[in-house]
Structure 1
Amino acid sequence: MTPATPIVKELVLLGGGHTHALVLRKWGMKPVPGVRLTLVNPGPTAPYSGMLPGHLAGHYAREALDIDLVRLARFAEARLLVDRAVAVDPAAKVVRLGSGREVSYDLLSFDVGITSEMPTLPGFAEHGVAAKPLGRFAGTWARICAESGPIAIAIIGGGVAGCEVAMAAAHRMRSLGREARVSVIDRGEVLTSVVPAARQRLLQGLSDHGVSLKEGVEIASVASDAVVLTDGTRIASDLTIGAAGATPQGWIAESGLPCKDGFLVVDAHLRSPADPAIFGAGDCVHLSHDPRPKAGVYAVRAAPILAHNLRAALLGQRSKPFRPQKDFLKLVSLGGKRAVAEKRGLAVSGGLMWQLKNRIDQTFMDKFRELPEMPLPKAPKGAALGVAEEMAGPVPCGGCGAKLASGALQSVLAQPAGASRPDVEAVPGDDAAVLRMGEAAQVISTDHLRGFALDPALVARAAAVHALGDIWAMGATPQAALAQVILPRVEARLQGRWLDEVMAAAGEIFAAEGVAVVGGHSSGGSELTVGFTVTGLLERPAITLRGARPGDALVLTKPLGTGVILAAEMQMKAEGAAVLACWQSMTTPSGAAARALAPVAHAMTDVTGFGLAGHLANICSASGVGAEVTLADVPLLPGAEALAAQGIRSSLWAQNRASVPADAPATSRADLMFDPQTAGGLLAAIPAEAVGTIPGATRIGTVTETPGLIFR
């Protein structure tokens, strides 16, 4: 067999801006073997700023602006860290993130964008909103559009961006039937950066929308209902938008790297002149060889050069210079579906220009909506019969989707191996055992996960929660953990870093639950696998699958859907927000719910690989009862039902469905009852009167006297 290519270099991209998005796309089509690529971005998406005015005007839905970085990262085989960079230490080659995490690099590239925040303007932080970054602004705008009645809007900044926002806002309010007073405020004249022909048409557009211009004025402060000028004049404003200039991220200048007015200085090769390991592009950099204004077109044009030069640095090849064009076609929206086009001093406007702008914008976004389909790996030459067929199927799921189904385990579970000991109680169907030492009793269990994501820390957090599930389900207090970690093949100097990532992340989960990590074992292998053996102390009789009583309420402490979402993410079919919600659920401990359930639960288990139906069937079988579940009451993760409706399934789903005899309708929601869960919630049978005492628990059904499992 061909051994996996060892990882020998770490390439980190800070920010999911236009340049890095295109670099990721190129990398996915032609990666550099032996490099781990990491993308750090504050959210799962990156907005395309060129379509912002169209969104404000109501021409585009909010999601139409978003580049899905989760999907793009999977295409590029890059790990995505949803976090914010707050510091860089070039000497140590470390990036510090807002979460406190540190990320090491061999090569680092900046594309973190700019902000329109105005930290020195009194009152703006409390009463204003910056047009960039888009996240908070888009949420505020959606709220404003949902309201009714007259409104006053003030835009601080009379450049092209501010005037585009003003015209878009005026158009949207008019289309909603609302009276709006829109003002643009600038310390000088508005639109001084555009040629006279274009300026005249833009001024006419502002006039047509009734936008009031306040030029040559200084702002003293922003109040809740007005922008206050230094002469005491108050300009009415229910919504104050900051669009004045480009403000760099403050932490970049604090890195000690050469900066110009806070922007990272890069040379013709998009490289820091002070550090050959650091690159940058987009609005956050200053092109020392050919300074250019902040415009998205330069970020897009720089992408192929940055992609080439990063590859060249990794391969020891020659880099290329970036030569930004002196002039380019500028298209500025006029609020409605009209735009001004300007190039070489000439300007035209009208509906055709908006159609041209829309076509250019949609073509750019289509690069990320329609990612090239990459061929599956072929079977090695001379492989045994059946290898090609197996490799042609879907890639096996990670997490619990990679486990064996209950049917395959029945004979093993029924015949425990090893010696029989009176001080060890193995409960059939449970994944833990009770060890008795005199008057004391202890629970022991072990579990592991095949990597479902490319971030070892994320997998480790989920694996820690997952391993603790059996301890919580038996009503024990988690006590100690031993780690079992298999790392993919990496260079010796990187092994310690990767293992540190795993243990630090898992350690956060265990420390919060009072668990001591007392050691473990590590080895190398073909892929990442993280597991833990855990123990827990029993202060009451162990809660097992036996004991459910007719009339008991069935409660579930986490929503279902991790299996289908992880499967969809591997196929690049899940939305980034849904994937993040899934990751959040898997890394959320169940300790608080377990402590509330332990005194009242008659039977309890954690919902993992067998799915809700499989684990509930085990409770019913062990307790000699049946169960009825109301499908509408079962909580689901965002996006899970829609993905199931598309026919997406975890690779374990079919075996789970075949293993559990259950009366269930042929619906996507019912299908999710057989979805394998990774680090799922607790499922318990409790007295009906105790339901309201369990934090975060949802009643999903009732234990019945008649055997059988019914989903209604």
Structure 2
Amino acid sequence: MLDFPLTRDLVLIGGGHSHALILKRWGMRPLPGVRVTVINPGAVAAYSGMLPGFVAGHYEREDLELDLLQLARFAGARAVLGRATGIDRAARLIHVEGRPPIRYDIASIDIGITSAMPDLTGFAEHGIPAKPLEAFAGRWDQFRKEALAGEVAPEVTVIGGGVAGAELAMAMAQSLKTIPNTQVCLVDHGEILTEMHPATRTAVLGALTDAGIKLRPKSQVIEVRSEEVLFADGTTLSSRFTLGAAGARPYSWLKDTGLDLTDGFITVNKTLQSSDPRIFAAGDCAHLSHDPRPKAGVYAVREAPVLFDNLRRILSVGTAAKLRAYHPQKDYLKLISLGGKAALADKSGLRLKGPLMWQWKDHIDRAFMRKLKDLPAMMPPPLPELVAEGLREEVEGKKPMCGACGAKVGGDILSRVLSTHPGPERRDVLHLAGDDAALLTHGDTWQVASVDHLRAFVEDPVLMTRITAIHALGDIWAMGAAPQAALATVTLPKMSEAMQESWLTEIMETAREVFDAEGAEIIGGHTAMGAELAIGFTVTGLLEQPITLKGARPGDQILLTKPIGTGVMLAAEMEMKANGRDLERAYASMVQSSGEASRILCNAHAMTDVTGFGLAGHLLGICRASEVGAVIRLQDVPLLPGALILAEAGLRSTIFPANRAYAADYEGPETPETDLLFDPQTAGGLLACVSPMRAEKCLAALREAGYEAAIIGEITEGPARLFIEP
């Protein structure tokens, strides 16, 4: 396959139904030369059609979640986990919380709507909007568990008497029906369900009554409190879970874009373009000026193929391209969940009600989710008939090489190569066997120097830069040094000059932010063009007394400051087998600074950072340098969410076999859980050997500072061996 340079940036703002479908289509039919970016606050997006069923308890949470990280991997897109806050149309930049702006040539907005009630006193503190769905799904899941356990009273108030409010009220009543004294109240400042056809309204009102829902029409809520709501007439209603479902509100930042809006929603024409031809919009956040329609997911789904074709055409031909028109249907099938496994179907005056309608709705919803979850394997092109000897064995039957520390050279190879080196001859260079960093002397000052360079394993240069910078600083922190300076080395894939500038701007602004926060300064660097994105940093630090691998003593407690599992998580992500929410937590762990942990552990007898050789390999490095043994209590080793499940499924990083061979001085069980001890870590935590008198105090300080730290074992008398206790 030809390696095309990148020339255009397509940015999808939001992970709504239209954009999810576009990512699937893009993976099947990519447009060479286009980099696709999807921006969303979280790694998953909830499918609204299955939300009432989830609330009622008919579905698990993962049933209604679309994994945007998997879809992005399938599409070859970068996923930016952040909230868009604005668009600078003149500079063609999209502003996102917590990161540099993102450049676009063409953008599309599919951010949905919100049910937040910013003008209702107390709602922000004590209420929860029905949209965005992800936050509501999480809060409801927690409340339901607490209510079923008897930890909170099962009192629910739904503000908003439209179809969505009615569906959710019946679903909540169904979910809580086994709990005595359950109270679900549906409130509206006007009449309930006034937007419905009279006969349909009568049927749904009857279903609400049958479900035991208390209806309170013509009631104005003026304040939401922690355990009640207050009405304009002075009365109150007990409520431990107050949901806002009163209508569809646009996100406030849209009004500052300068785009034409209708009631706050982006006005689009029949080609789904806004008043700026470079910006499209779809789904609930868009207003169809040529044929206004109510807010409903069915339109977002039907808009997707038109939007996909138009984005491809304008990216390939330019703004003069002839685009497809979207013509929405006049009516659509409405399937209203009635709490239990029953539904009401309504279209063109025809109404059917009962379990068969729910089964029909369930079939439609599951089919839609399968379309976005069942992602076909995209096979690489076949090898030519004639290739070099050994190439076929190296390529066929092997999974792609992992990125990050999973792509490093094995410890045995590295040891053999380095063993032939005579070592430093300069008096101002201190030779430390096994340590990754070098110690340089400058009079009475010690300086630590180290380098780390990673192939990109995420498409987002900003996230990749954060992780690489934290990873590179690990060797500095492991010696107890304060970061001083950094040199950056960046290899960009082939791309246009405009995109080069955009990528380098994102990378360098992020790098400066990370190093500035640690008290270090970027003093220069080097750039090049290559086959793929790679980022590296040469870093230095200053210290008074170094902490090395040599110094661990029998009786020392072994502290680990971060959970392990990044290697198997990243290997699974490459195969689209990792859960997006778990990946999000893994990324958060990787970008967590170890600076404060290093300061807390300044009196450690020996310390290292846990990276490519895995926890077992790095601990054995301490044991060999210090001529001691170690015992690990497996049950005390913190793991990243999802890591053990993936290990149990047989997922391994490509460097796992080399790590297992390198850590030959190992005694213990051979299980998926112990396999994680040999999992290569990227930007992993610190591994410290601390006096037993200091260990608990250090652990408390680490946890107070926000680290998921644990005491995982202790140092024993030699020889240098590692023993694992189940």
- 8 Å Cα contact 2:453-2:537 kept in structure 1: yes
Structure 2 residue matching 1:341: 3-state secondary structure: strand
Mapping of 1:6-45 within 5 angstroms?
6-45=5-44
Q: Does 1:420 pair with 2:425? A: yes
Structure 2 residue matching 1:340: 3-state secondary structure: strand
Q: Does 1:245 pair with 2:250? A: no
RMSD: 1.8
Change (3 A) 1:589 1:218: closer
**Match among 400, 407, 415 for residue 405 of structure 2:** 400
Report the AA paired with residue 453 of structure 1: V
Question: Hey, what does 1:280 align to over in structure 2?
Answer: 281
**Match among 202, 210, 224 for residue 204 of structure 2:** 202
Whole-angstrom CA distance in 2 between matches of 1:595 and 1:337: 57
**Match among 625, 628, 633 for residue 630 of structure 1:** 633
- 8 Å Cα contact 1:378-1:388 kept in structure 2: no
Whole-angstrom CA distance in 2 between matches of 1:150 and 1:509: 45
Report the AA paired with residue 12 of structure 1: V
TM-score calculated relative to the size of structure 2? 0.94
Change (3 A) 1:387 1:266: farther
**Match among 517, 523, 528 for residue 523 of structure 1:** 528
Structure 1 residue matching 2:79: 3-state secondary structure: strand
**Match among 147, 162, 187 for residue 159 of structure 1:** 162
Report the AA paired with residue 193 of structure 2: L
Whole-angstrom CA distance in 2 between matches of 1:303 and 1:473: 50
Identity rate of aligned residues, in percent?
52
Whole-angstrom CA distance in 2 between matches of 1:528 and 1:220: 54
- 8 Å Cα contact 2:23-2:72 kept in structure 1: yes
**Match among 710, 713, 716 for residue 701 of structure 1:** 713
Whole-angstrom CA distance in 2 between matches of 1:477 and 1:123: 45
Q: Does 1:652 pair with 2:664? A: no
- 8 Å Cα contact 2:559-2:688 kept in structure 1: yes
Equivalent pairs counted in the alignment come to: 707
Change (3 A) 1:459 1:203: same
Change (3 A) 1:438 1:64: same
- 8 Å Cα contact 2:594-2:685 kept in structure 1: yes
Residue deviations 1:101-137, cap 9 Å, x none? 3111011000001011111223322332211112332
Question: Hey, what does 1:690 align to over in structure 2?
Answer: 694
Structure 2 residue matching 1:522: 3-state secondary structure: strand
Whole-angstrom CA distance in 1 between matches of 2:564 and 2:153: 44
- 8 Å Cα contact 2:153-2:240 kept in structure 1: no
- 8 Å Cα contact 1:441-1:538 kept in structure 2: yes
- 8 Å Cα contact 2:99-2:462 kept in structure 1: no
Whole-angstrom CA distance in 2 between matches of 1:560 and 1:330: 47
Mapping of 1:294-373 within 5 angstroms?
294-316=295-317, 317-373=321-377
Whole-angstrom CA distance in 2 between matches of 1:450 and 1:225: 52
- 8 Å Cα contact 1:481-1:516 kept in structure 2: yes
Whole-angstrom CA distance in 2 between matches of 1:490 and 1:32: 14
Whole-angstrom CA distance in 2 between matches of 1:566 and 1:535: 28
Q: Does 1:168 pair with 2:171? A: yes
Report the AA paired with residue 119 of structure 2: T
Report the AA paired with residue 628 of structure 1: V
Question: Hey, what does 2:130 align to over in structure 1?
Answer: 131
Change (3 A) 1:476 1:333: same
Whole-angstrom CA distance in 2 between matches of 1:628 and 1:445: 29
Shift of 1:150: 5.7
Whole-angstrom CA distance in 2 between matches of 1:249 and 1:351: 37
Residue deviations 1:285-340, cap 9 Å, x none? 00111100000000111111111111111111532111111111110011111100
Change (3 A) 1:684 1:185: closer
Shift of 1:180: 2.6
Residue deviations 1:463-497, cap 9 Å, x none? 11111111112222211111111111111111121
Question: Hey, what does 2:542 align to over in structure 1?
Answer: 537
Whole-angstrom CA distance in 2 between matches of 1:192 and 1:179: 29
- 8 Å Cα contact 1:414-1:428 kept in structure 2: no
**Match among 211, 224, 229 for residue 222 of structure 1:** 224
Q: Does 1:619 pair with 2:622? A: yes
Residue deviations 1:47-91, cap 9 Å, x none? 001111111111112222111111111111111111001111111
Shift of 1:244: 1.2
Whole-angstrom CA distance in 1 between matches of 2:560 and 2:539: 23
Report the AA paired with residue 601 of structure 2: L
Change (3 A) 1:229 1:481: same
Report the AA paired with residue 136 of structure 2: F
Residue deviations 1:347-375, cap 9 Å, x none? 01000000000110111111222112211
Whole-angstrom CA distance in 2 between matches of 1:595 and 1:315: 53
Question: Hey, what does 2:449 align to over in structure 1?
Answer: 444
Structure 2 residue matching 1:271: 3-state secondary structure: coil
Structure 2 residue matching 1:428: 3-state secondary structure: coil
Question: Hey, what does 1:212 align to over in structure 2?
Answer: 214
Report the AA paired with residue 23 of structure 2: L
Unaligned stretches of 5+ residues in structure 1: none
Whole-angstrom CA distance in 1 between matches of 2:80 and 2:272: 24
Report the AA paired with residue 678 of structure 1: T
Shift of 1:411: 2.0
Change (3 A) 1:635 1:210: closer
Change (3 A) 1:412 1:196: same
- 8 Å Cα contact 1:150-1:178 kept in structure 2: no
Whole-angstrom CA distance in 2 between matches of 1:526 and 1:264: 39
- 8 Å Cα contact 1:221-1:229 kept in structure 2: yes
Whole-angstrom CA distance in 1 between matches of 2:516 and 2:360: 57
Whole-angstrom CA distance in 2 between matches of 1:620 and 1:224: 54
Whole-angstrom CA distance in 2 between matches of 1:69 and 1:476: 39
Shift of 1:613: 1.3
- 8 Å Cα contact 2:100-2:510 kept in structure 1: no
Mapping of 1:575-654 within 5 angstroms?
575-598=579-602, 600-654=603-657
Whole-angstrom CA distance in 2 between matches of 1:495 and 1:426: 40
Shift of 1:100: 4.6
Report the AA paired with residue 63 of structure 2: A
Residue deviations 1:568-623, cap 9 Å, x none? 1111111111111111111111111112222x222221111111111112211122
Question: Hey, what does 1:69 align to over in structure 2?
Answer: 68
Question: Hey, what does 2:481 align to over in structure 1?
Answer: 476
Whole-angstrom CA distance in 2 between matches of 1:523 and 1:616: 36
Structure 2 residue matching 1:201: 3-state secondary structure: helix
- 8 Å Cα contact 1:413-1:428 kept in structure 2: no
Question: Hey, what does 2:101 align to over in structure 1?
Answer: 102
Q: Which moved more, 1:385-394 or 1:655-664?
A: 385-394
Report the AA paired with residue 723 of structure 2: I
- 8 Å Cα contact 2:154-2:179 kept in structure 1: no
Shift of 1:500: 1.4
Change (3 A) 1:417 1:276: farther
Residue deviations 1:228-254, cap 9 Å, x none? 333334444343221111000011121
Q: Does 1:668 pair with 2:672? A: yes
Change (3 A) 1:380 1:249: farther
Structure 2 residue matching 1:337: 3-state secondary structure: coil
Shift of 1:644: 0.6
Structure 2 residue matching 1:401: 3-state secondary structure: helix
TM-score calculated relative to the size of structure 1? 0.96
Shift of 1:498: 0.6
- 8 Å Cα contact 1:197-1:346 kept in structure 2: no
Whole-angstrom CA distance in 2 between matches of 1:302 and 1:261: 21
Q: Which moved more, 1:325-334 or 1:133-142?
A: 133-142
Unaligned stretches of 5+ residues in structure 2: none
